Amino acid sequence: MNSLNVTIAGLGKIGIPLAVQFGVKGARVIGYDISRERCAVINDGRNPLTGEPGLDEKIPGLVVSEHLRATTDPREAATSADVIVFIVPVDIDATQRADFAALDAAVDALAPHLKRGALIIVETTVPVGTTRNRVGVRIAAATGMTPGTDFALAFSPERVSSGSVLLDLQRYPKIVGGIDAASTARAADFYAQMLDAEILPVRDAETAEFSKLIETTYRDVNIALANEFARIGDALGLDTLGAIAAANTQPYSHVHAPGPGVGGHCIPVYPYFLMDPQTAATPPLLETDLAATARRINDGMAHYAVDRLAQTLGTLEGATVIVLGLAYRAGVKESRHSSAFGLANALLAAGAITYVHDPLFTAAEIRALGLEPPPAWPLPCDALVIQAWHRHYHDLDLAAFQGLRAVLDARASLDPASVESKGISYVGIGR
Ligand SMILES: NC(=O)c1ccc[n+]([C@@H]2O[C@H](COP(=O)([O-])OP(=O)(O)OC[C@H]3O[C@@H](n4cnc5c(N)ncnc54)[C@H](O)[C@@H]3O)[C@@H](O)[C@H]2O)c1
């Protein structure tokens, strides 16, 4: 056990489990967030996140033993911190450039209160060069301190998935890269104390930043390839999913699953970060044919899927269609860049009366995102579109949807024969 003071900036889906992990390892953790409500819930000994195993049990004890508290006050958060970990989101803006507003704000708030000798770690996924040229430069400007000399600075990608964060923290090697060798060594030593996972130091902060963009862009490109296979298979009347499963029995073939697009705030975002490095004062946008093409293919899948449904029904003009699942994936209350938006837009453009249902979101939350929840449940409709196969849908009774003529199963969740045996058309992607 140790008595490090660790501050986590950003108490979100990843920041809270991280705070818990470090608290369990004996650190005195302060969570810093701009949300008063979130801080109050934690200081009350309660878990604000649903669906993240391990937190309900651990948060109350950590708060009582003073290994975890939360604050919106940057001075309180930073003054005694030996280590500060930034895990606030960086997303893309409307022009698909990295939007640093939240990260910059968090850095600017904490920097003036930084202790000399502190270790600063960025865990948020960022374009290459951000840790050194953006975070380091801002802290230096705010404090007059020299990065590497007066404080250590490193990047360590967060590789976990929400829903299994504490488990993933144990099983994925922790990659660390500093702005100099001493920063790398300090960050590696910190994680060796805080995690049970293998620690994997790399050459520098840029290598660590690049590794996360490689990991995520690989998946986007892989899914685009699966989507291309699905389009070919659909055109030829083949069983693409069966063919992919067969191909993947060869150890070098790892083709992912086709689908209606790629959602979430990671995989569809980070290929754009590759193109937007922060390695110079006015960095050029890089051209990346393959990653850009993959983005285009994946973003086109919602239209493709809706076109297949339209062909089955004859037309979607005036048809009532319900998209099942606003969340970008099953079981997670996260809607950013969800394929539900692309599907709903394509349905509306085709003239369908379109509703989006999700048991994890209230009707008001669905409306606030510009979508319309169904006015009744189950609602008579012409078609259902399976976008996120939440547990709640597993015993869905298709017969309860009066007038149902087709199911677009974008996640390969249902047995086609069983759907068709009810006199309902089954429309798949690559199936
Ligand atoms: N969610 C995932 O599955 C996942 C997986 C791997 C890595 N990550 C990384 O974690 C980052 C954060 O993701 P998340 O899912 O935890 O986000 P989130 O949206 O759940 O939480 C972000 C938190 O940051 C807080 N915040 C925003 N601006 C702030 C500021 N200026 N100062 C302090 N706090 C601020 C918000 O109030 C919120 O509580 C992502 O950008 C990504 O790089 C996420």
**Nearest CA among 144, 141, 107 for reference residue 124:** 107
**238 close to ligand 1 (CB < 6 Angstrom):** no
Interstrand relation of 28-32 and 5-9 (parallel, antiparallel or unpaired): parallel
Provide, for the chain, the percentages of residues in helix, strand and coil under a 3-state DSSP scheme, each rounded to the nearest 5: 40, 15, 45
Record the pTM: 0.94
**With bands split at pLDDT 50, 70 and 90, how would you rate the model's confidence at 257?**
very high
Residue 271 in this model has a pLDDT that exceeds 80? yes
Distance 68 CA to ligand 1 centre (A): 18
Active-site residue flag, 266: yes
Distance 99 CA to ligand 1 centre (A): 13
Closest atom of ligand 1 to 157 CA is 7
Whole-number pLDDT of residue 281: 72
**With bands split at pLDDT 50, 70 and 90, how would you rate the model's confidence at 2?**
low
Whole-number pLDDT of residue 280: 75
Active-site residue flag, 212: yes
pLDDT in tens, 168-179: 999 999 999 999
Pair 272, 266: CB distance under 8 Å = no
Distance 114 CA to ligand 1 centre (A): 21
Closest atom of ligand 1 to 32 CA is 33
**345 close to ligand 1 (CB < 6 Angstrom):** no
Distance 343 CA to ligand 1 centre (A): 26
More confident residue, 50 or 154: 154
Query: Around Cβ 34, how many Cβ atoms within 10 Å?
Result: 16
Q: Which of 13, 16, 122 to mutate to test the pocket of ligand 1 (most atoms within 8 A of CB)?
A: 13
**Nearest CA among 335, 407, 321, 336 for reference residue 372:** 321
Distance 430 CA to ligand 1 centre (A): 34
Helix (H, G, I), strand (E, B) or coil at 329: coil
Residue 249 in this model has a pLDDT that exceeds 90? yes
Residue 7 in this model has a pLDDT that exceeds 70? yes
**With bands split at pLDDT 50, 70 and 90, how would you rate the model's confidence at 283?**
confident
The Cα–Cα gap between 139 and 72 comes to: 19
Q: ω before 378 within 30° of 0 (cis)?
A: yes
Query: Around Cβ 5, how many Cβ atoms within 10 Å?
Result: 17
Pick left, alpha or beta for residue 337 (phi over 0 → left; psi -120 to 50 → alpha; otherwise beta).
left
Whole-number pLDDT of residue 301: 98
**16 close to ligand 1 (CB < 6 Angstrom):** no
Distance 306 CA to ligand 1 centre (A): 32
pLDDT in tens, 201-224: 999 999 999 999 999 999 999 999
Helix (H, G, I), strand (E, B) or coil at 155: strand
The Cα–Cα gap between 211 and 215 comes to: 6
DSSP 60-116: HHHHHTTSEEEES-HHHHHTT-SEEEE----EE-TTSSEE-HHHHHHHHHHGGGPPT
**With bands split at pLDDT 50, 70 and 90, how would you rate the model's confidence at 404?**
very high
Closest atom of ligand 1 to 125 CA is 43
Pair 42, 72: CB distance under 8 Å = no
Whole-number pLDDT of residue 282: 73
**47 close to ligand 1 (CB < 6 Angstrom):** no
**17 close to ligand 1 (CB < 6 Angstrom):** no
The Cα–Cα gap between 19 and 123 comes to: 13
Which of the residues 115, 266, 333, 381 is marked catalytic?
266
Closest atom of ligand 1 to 126 CA is 43
Residue 324 in this model has a pLDDT that exceeds 60? yes
